[in-house]
Structure 1
Amino acid sequence: MTAVQPKSAATQETFDSLSPATDEVVGTHPVHTAAEVEAAVARAREAAVWWESLGFGGRAQRLQQWKGVLTRRLKQLCQVVRDETGKPIADAQLESVLAIEHISWAAKNARKVLGRKRRSAGLLMSNQAATVEYLPLGVVGVIGPWNYPVFTPLGSIAYALAAGNAVVFKPSEFTPGVGKWLVDAFAEVVPEQPVLQLITGYGATGAALTRAGVDKIAFTGSTATGKKIMAACAETLTPVVIEAGGKDPVLVDADADLEAAADATVWGAFSNSGQTCIGVERVYVHERVHDEFVAKVVEKSQAVRAGSDQDAQYGPVTMPSQLKVIKHHITDALSRGGKALVGGAEAVGDRYAQPTVLVGVPEDAEAVREETFGPTVTIAKVASMDEAVEKANNTRYGLAATVFSKSRGMELARRLRTGMASINAPLSFAGIASLPFGGVGDSGFGRIHGPEGLREFARTKAIARQRFTAPIALTTFDRKEKTDALVAKLITVLHGKR
């Protein structure tokens, strides 16, 4: 079995998963208790021993089979995502395809990244053979988000599994059906042991997972919740990787391809109803091209519409409470002198938020300072790219950024205080499986994806093996004064040059 065994039907508390587009019940799931979560972790502990014993090759084979199941049933998976998030099928497919790529990369590269490697022992310890390897942690708890319920959690799950760990997965209460679909698909290719288990419920279930004795927690969600998880994990010194919010900027230089920059801004700001931690929320544009850029953004934004029909570019706001945040950020910006060139406060309805483009918003407004997580974007004029970098970095967040510049792209990207950046294309780092994903500051710490993502779910093991007895014995009480003198002369020759 892959899911936690529920109580009897008479005593098991349940909750409904609703379509944000219609409020239709699309699934009913158990609310797992702390005791049930602890039992799941105990089962995972045994499963982890078996899973590790398969070795890199055996695990890679199963992960590639899982990838095949997801690929062959892609249409079905996308429909489950649409049912629970309201996003268009095409957007559900995009995140699923990227997740499949990451499963494949993790499976193929785990041995190369985590396997035993030789290290130089140095001259003083030349009689030693030095090796380092990365061993599984054991059981990893993954707490996933609702905005990208396939791509984001699998960025932790796939890499944790490839590293040899068992996983207990708690999806968002808004997308439990997606989590169940993924776990059930894995159980088809790994039926022997509960290597990947599902637990469902509200925040209390996630909190129980942090105290259930796992060896690491991987969390994606708000900064505020991330801090609570860290506090809970601190009680048992359980390590965490936190992927939290962002207030991600776009920089547009005077020599930028304005058509491409405007298109990237509109897509990055409004796709998935703006519910993207690495999405575009702020734009800083060189004064020489500001007006032309804004005109292009306005024109493109006016062609974008939220809805549940086939022609809509994005769907509803998944979490109803977020609508109040989006509207408040817009009204606050307008009250401070900002102007809505597209949309405005009236663009926020009871399910959908239509695109809003704001200009003239002061830097201390909430629409600039706080994560909106909705289909809005602020555009500001700057006199230079130095000013753009300064304003872009003036935030407590530090997740991602995009730079459009023909001559200074790399320079500007490196100066931005973010964990990731893309140049002349939107969010491209997320689709490159070999690149690490994560932020700094209030955007969190630790990395998923790439070699760093594999090592995030492994423990480093260093081993020194004596090959022959050293002519100079240093680690003994029988060491002579002449030995110390010889060592002093040797170290001076090696490292004492001016």
Structure 2
Amino acid sequence: MSTLVSRNPVTGEVVAEHAAADEATVREVVTRARSAGLWWTSRRPRERRDALLRWKSELVAGSADLAAVIRAETGKPTTGALLEVMLAVEHLDWAARNAHKVLRRRKVAAGVLAMNQRALLEYVPFGVVGVIGPWNYPVYTPLGSISYALAAGNAVVFKPSEYTPGVGQWLADAWARVCPEPVLQVVIGDGRTGQAVVESDVDMVAFTGSADTARRVMAACATRLTPLVVEAGGKDALIVAADADLDAAAGAAVFGGLGNAGQTCAGVERVYVVADVYDRFLAAVTEKASAVRPGADDSAAYGPMTMPGQIEVVRRHVSDALAGGGVAALGGTDSIRAPFVEPIVLTGVAEDSRAMREETFGPTLVVNPVRDVEEAIRLTNASPYGLAAAIFTRDKARGLSTARRLRTGAVSVNSVLGFAAVPALPFGGVGDSGFGRVHGADGLREFSRPKAVTWQRCRAPIDLMRFDASPRAVRTALRLFRMRHGRGH
């Protein structure tokens, strides 16, 4: 069995060495998950809830240790790591406490034609869910799938990013301390391990990563018709109306664009500002961003680029934007000093540049002027991505109407990432940002199969579900059918 080495992205020092799971190991883990899943599904909803809440308590009690592992493997400041853990715990708590209410068997109306039937709708778990997690938020993001899959009654096989294997192992070890069965297991490795999970006997896959990798995962799932939920990044826009609180909007843009070194799928990458307030807004953003400092110490606003290859992506995007006529209001290519990238604010960037079309995933902001909010909506929706967006305006009606028209899975009005801390809201995108939802009631249902059940409580007064139905029954049924549906309203 080969070894996977995790390293600190700042120093390059070895954090830990882990045994990498090969295809045979993955098969064994999935087999164990199958048995454990049957046990887990047979537990009463209250028992599953209590186990999940005990796991939550382990995460809370060990939050400092978990944050230290996150920091060691991603380089992000401790404050950012702890915030991630806190958000993840909120969602875990909500999933545990609401699963039974959302998924319990319930009666539905049978309708006129089936008035002799009792109709029930219930949700049943898939069985074993394979979760492939990212490195940028190695707790918060995968737990959006893991927590809801477990709460829905599934067993989970979790493959963390090869950059954050220790985080995944910590989560699985914490589960083992509160549950006697391997309902949650971790398999560590690179892309080959992830491929083995996708091609194994799992009943569903939840994937977070790039759109290109998602397409390959989807193709692999297609061979077995394995259901799939995908969160594949974004190119999220923030719209600033002429009546916006410019100071608040500028602060949100800087936090949304630079937080976690810009390595946030739902972070801000594009800003469209109505021309009347463009100069004032750009000055405010530049001033606030210039005060933000990356570094390896805990007092830094954000840490390094966790994945070394992402530095060159940032460089290409910035260079392409400047070569196409864009202007650097703050920083530029000289701001890229591996493993850190200092804040970069660009303006006047062409809409067909890489910096506007492709996910940068770095601490850069593009601030472009627009004629009005209508143009901002059009440009926002022109992207193949559609994960999240934000609108700043003092007009509540305008904010809500704009949110409705944006082709995204989530929108924040007068904030950024507001939805991330609301467990009852679903999260997911459209287009190249993926499909399916985690979080909230929709997230619980995403990891369940709806099952329809009927039973006959009495004989049908007009029985057509037989080969020897009488002509009189047919005539009566047709007469009633025309009376009910033939009037056009």
Residue of structure 2 in register with 1:429 after alignment: 419
**What is the CA-CA distance between 1:55 and the residue it aligns to?**
2.1
Residue of structure 1 in register with 2:267 after alignment: 279
SS in 2 for 1:23: coil
**What is the CA-CA distance between 1:53 and the residue it aligns to?**
1.1
Residue of structure 2 in register with 1:213 after alignment: 201
Counterpart check, 1:486 vs 2:476: yes
**What is the CA-CA distance between 1:309 and the residue it aligns to?**
1.5
Residue of structure 2 in register with 1:149 after alignment: 138
Gaps of 5+ in 2: none
Residue of structure 1 in register with 2:443 after alignment: 453
1:246-325 to structure 2, matched below 5 A, reads 246-325=234-313
- Offset from partner CA, 1:409-451 (integer Å, 9 cap, x none): 0011111000111100110111100000000000000000001
Q: Distance in 2 between matches of 1:494 and 1:259?
A: 59
Counterpart check, 1:64 vs 2:58: no
Residue of structure 1 in register with 2:120 after alignment: 131
Corresponding letter in the other structure for 2:168 = G
Q: Percent identity?
A: 54
Residue of structure 2 in register with 1:110 after alignment: 99
**What is the CA-CA distance between 1:35 and the residue it aligns to?**
0.6
Q: Distance in 1 between matches of 2:446 and 2:48?
A: 18
The runs of 4+ residues in structure 1 deviating greater than 2 Å are none
Normalised to the residue count of structure 2, the TM-score between the two structures is 0.99
Q: Distance in 2 between matches of 1:115 and 1:144?
A: 28
For residue 18 of structure 2, the aligned residue among 12, 16, 29 is 29
Corresponding letter in the other structure for 1:338 = G
Residue of structure 2 in register with 1:161 after alignment: 150
- Offset from partner CA, 1:86-118 (integer Å, 9 cap, x none): 000000011110000011000000001100010
SS in 2 for 1:204: helix
- Tell me if the contact between 2:169 and 2:186 (Cα under 8 Å) persists in the aligned partners: yes
- Offset from partner CA, 1:317-370 (integer Å, 9 cap, x none): 000000000011001100011111111001111200000000010100100110
For residue 340 of structure 2, the aligned residue among 352, 362, 371 is 352
**What is the CA-CA distance between 1:471 and the residue it aligns to?**
1.4
Q: Distance in 2 between matches of 1:134 and 1:57?
A: 16
Q: Distance in 1 between matches of 2:44 and 2:366?
A: 50
For residue 359 of structure 2, the aligned residue among 345, 367, 371 is 371
For residue 80 of structure 1, the aligned residue among 60, 69, 72 is 69
SS in 2 for 1:402: strand
For residue 178 of structure 1, the aligned residue among 167, 191, 194 is 167
- Offset from partner CA, 1:374-416 (integer Å, 9 cap, x none): 0001011011110000001111100000110121100111110
- Offset from partner CA, 1:32-51 (integer Å, 9 cap, x none): 11011011000000000100
RMSD of aligned alpha carbons: 0.7
Q: Distance in 2 between matches of 1:201 and 1:87?
A: 22
Corresponding letter in the other structure for 1:234 = A
Counterpart check, 1:474 vs 2:461: no
Normalised to the residue count of structure 1, the TM-score between the two structures is 0.97
SS in 2 for 1:289: helix
For residue 237 of structure 1, the aligned residue among 214, 225, 246 is 225
SS in 2 for 1:281: strand
SS in 2 for 1:75: helix
Q: Distance in 1 between matches of 2:380 and 2:325?
A: 20
Q: Distance in 2 between matches of 1:470 and 1:112?
A: 32
- Tell me if the contact between 2:78 and 2:298 (Cα under 8 Å) persists in the aligned partners: no
Q: Which moved more, 1:331-340 or 1:478-487?
A: 478-487
For residue 442 of structure 1, the aligned residue among 432, 446, 449 is 432
**What is the CA-CA distance between 1:26 and the residue it aligns to?**
0.5
Residue of structure 2 in register with 1:203 after alignment: 191
Q: Which moved more, 1:318-327 or 1:303-312?
A: 303-312
- Offset from partner CA, 1:124-183 (integer Å, 9 cap, x none): 111110000000110000000000000000000000000000000000000000000011
SS in 2 for 1:311: coil
Q: Distance in 2 between matches of 1:406 and 1:181?
A: 44
Corresponding letter in the other structure for 2:171 = L
Residue of structure 2 in register with 1:3 after alignment: none
- Offset from partner CA, 1:242-296 (integer Å, 9 cap, x none): 0001000000001111111000000000010000000000000011111111110
Corresponding letter in the other structure for 1:312 = A
**What is the CA-CA distance between 1:61 and the residue it aligns to?**
0.2
Residue of structure 1 in register with 2:37 after alignment: 48
Q: Distance in 1 between matches of 2:363 and 2:132?
A: 25
Q: Which moved more, 1:163-172 or 1:71-80?
A: 71-80
**What is the CA-CA distance between 1:310 and the residue it aligns to?**
2.7
- Offset from partner CA, 1:216-235 (integer Å, 9 cap, x none): 00000010110110011111
Counterpart check, 1:417 vs 2:407: yes
Aligned length: 486
- Offset from partner CA, 1:40-81 (integer Å, 9 cap, x none): 000000000100111211000000011111111111111110
Q: Distance in 1 between matches of 2:146 and 2:134?
A: 13
Q: Distance in 2 between matches of 1:148 and 1:389?
A: 29
SS in 2 for 1:189: coil
SS in 2 for 1:80: helix
SS in 1 for 2:385: coil
**What is the CA-CA distance between 1:470 and the residue it aligns to?**
1.0
Q: Distance in 1 between matches of 2:82 and 2:432?
A: 30
Q: Distance in 2 between matches of 1:330 and 1:273?
A: 15
- Tell me if the contact between 2:77 and 2:299 (Cα under 8 Å) persists in the aligned partners: no
SS in 1 for 2:177: helix
Gaps of 5+ in 1: 1-11
Q: Distance in 2 between matches of 1:180 and 1:288?
A: 52
